[in-house]
Amino acid sequence: MLFNSWKFIGFFLVIYAVIGLFRRSRTRVIYQNFFLLAASYTFYAGWHTWYLLLIIGSTLVDYFVGLQLGKTADPVKRKILLWISIGVNISVLCFFKYYDFGVENLVLMLGAIGLEPDIRVLNLVLPVGISFYTFQTLSYTIDIYRREMEPTKDLVSFALFVAFFPQLVAGPIERAKKLLPQLQQPRIVTWDDLRYGGLYTVMGFFYKVVIADSVVALGANAFKYTDTVSGLANISGILAFSLRAYGDFAGYSFIAIGIARLMGIRLSQNFNTPYLSTSITELWQRWHMTLFSWFKDYIYIPLGGNRKGKVRTYFNILVVFYISGVWHGAAWTYILFGVYHGVLVMIERVFREKKEDMDIRPVWWIQGLKRIRFYGLWLIGIAMFFADSMEQFYQVLYHSFANAFYQPGDMEVYLMPVLIWHLILFSYHAWQRKQGSQAALLGQPVVVQLAAYVFMISTILAVGFRVQPYIYFQF
């Protein structure tokens, strides 16, 4: 069930009406959580009923591991329990996500030396959102192991924490110590919740339906016919996919944050005007923020972070970004995407340290050049991300410069739509930063707010739901 569909809107309105019947009491919260859990499982079963067993199994494993961690102080037993949680969750994730990829590449490698192993791919269907809820539930057992939180005995609330439908399949990736207490307490929906929830929801639909879905065909055509279209068309295709990546994923996150807020639950911010960054390092502090916060807390810092010298720091950075590439999907393009960004972050760190030693102060025009440089580097990564293969990635970059740069009609068909959307998006983000909030619209006069809502909603309805799946559903 996709957010950008009338079916989901009807689904949510029914849920919202039912939970509104529950009174503000601890007992009623239990009933409300039962209902929300049932709704979340129904939402997830809409993709693949049997894969619902995976999320239930993961929930039960980590729930009971958490209880046992809370009962024992023995270091050896605690480590065994932790590794049971990690082993079960990561094994299931790797099997469904990487088994076919691993077998295909193993067969190719053995075939190159004359061997023909009888190993077959299983053509597994990847469970939607498995990468997201696996990381979310793992953070629970790791935090208990670190004694940063106490285990809960409330199985229903914990199961809802794992499967909460707004952010179940594409984030934000929440921590139990933030979300669980909200699920276990009476939730009072305030006027601010309605205002912020409504804005984020409408804004999310606008990003997805109007921006991301409108450029899908443009980018896909440029990548499909990369050798026959002009260099300008190829570059425009990459720009279109950059818009799609942001509009699609940020749009989902905003909708998730918005509908959760309408129910009195506050999810974590996941995007913060990332395309105005001045470096790749800054981008990953503003893009998919909950994922990279997870990597930092559970991989980078345990590896030693920046506490064991420069060489080890660079190694840790590369490991984190390599894992991030693997996390995104079972394809060499995703692995290259992760390593590429890891190398860029390492290089930026070297030059940042030299700059700090020289005490160079940035000026506005240098910041502008840095933003242009950053976006150019980001677009190369976007070409990796959306290419179907390493060969297609090479062809897209090669033909961007080897083909005739311009053909009649390129400006109108390819370039103008993406430039207009870039101008609108960048201007809006610049205004948001100046106002100091992504919800800056709520601080404007009522007339301005109403005009903005009328514009966004009418544009969404005029464009219509194309039922384009979200990119991150495949992760």
Long-range contact list for 324-332, CB < 8 A, 24+ apart? 324/291, 324/292, 324/295, 326/98, 327/131, 327/291, 327/475, 328/385, 328/475, 329/97, 329/474, 329/475, 330/97, 330/98, 330/100, 330/101, 330/102, 331/101, 331/389, 332/389, 332/390
Question: Quick one: pLDDT at residue 100?
Answer: 85
Q: Is the pLDDT of residue 468 over 80?
A: no
**CA dist., res. 8 & res. 399, Å (int):** 41
| pLDDT for residue 234 is more than 90 | no
Asked whether the beta carbons of 226 and 234 are under 8 A apart, the reply is: yes
Structure confidence at residue 475 (pLDDT): 61
How confident is the model at residue 284, as a pLDDT? Answer: 94
Is the pLDDT confidence value at 467 over 70?
no
Mean residue pLDDT across the chain? 88
Cis peptide before 172 (omega within 30 of 0): yes
Give the residue numbers marked as catalytic.
328
What pLDDT score was predicted for residue 156?
94
pTM (2 decimals)?
0.92
pLDDT tens digits along 74-132: 999 999 999 999 999 999 999 998 988 888 888 888 888 877 777 888 888 888 889 99
Which amino acid is present at 310?
K
Phi, then psi, of 45 in degrees rounded to 5: -65, -15
Residue 155 predicted with pLDDT over 90: yes
Q: How far apart are CA 244 and CA 208, in angstroms?
A: 8
- 180 within 8 A of 157, measured Cβ to Cβ: yes
pLDDT for 335: 94
Q: Which residue has the higher pLDDT, 216 or 342?
A: 342
The answer to whether residues 81 and 65 touch, using CB atoms and an 8 Å cutoff, is yes
Contact present, 161 and 182 (Cβ < 8 Å): no
**Mean pLDDT value across residues 239-263:** 93
**pLDDT given at position 106:** 83
Which is more confident, 38 or 25? 38
- More confident of the two residues 409 and 53: 53
- CA–chain centroid gap for 314, Å, is 24
pLDDT value at 417 more than 80: yes
Q: CB under 8 Å to 280, separation ≥6 — which residues?
A: 341, 344, 345, 348, 374, 377, 378
Identity of the amino acid at 335? I
Could you read off the pLDDT of 59-71 as tens digits, one per residue?
A: 999 999 999 999 9
Are 395 and 405 in contact by the 8 Å Cβ rule? The answer is no
The tens digit of pLDDT for each residue in 456-466 reads 999 999 888 77
The Cβ of residue 279 has, within 10 Å, a number of other Cβ atoms equal to 20
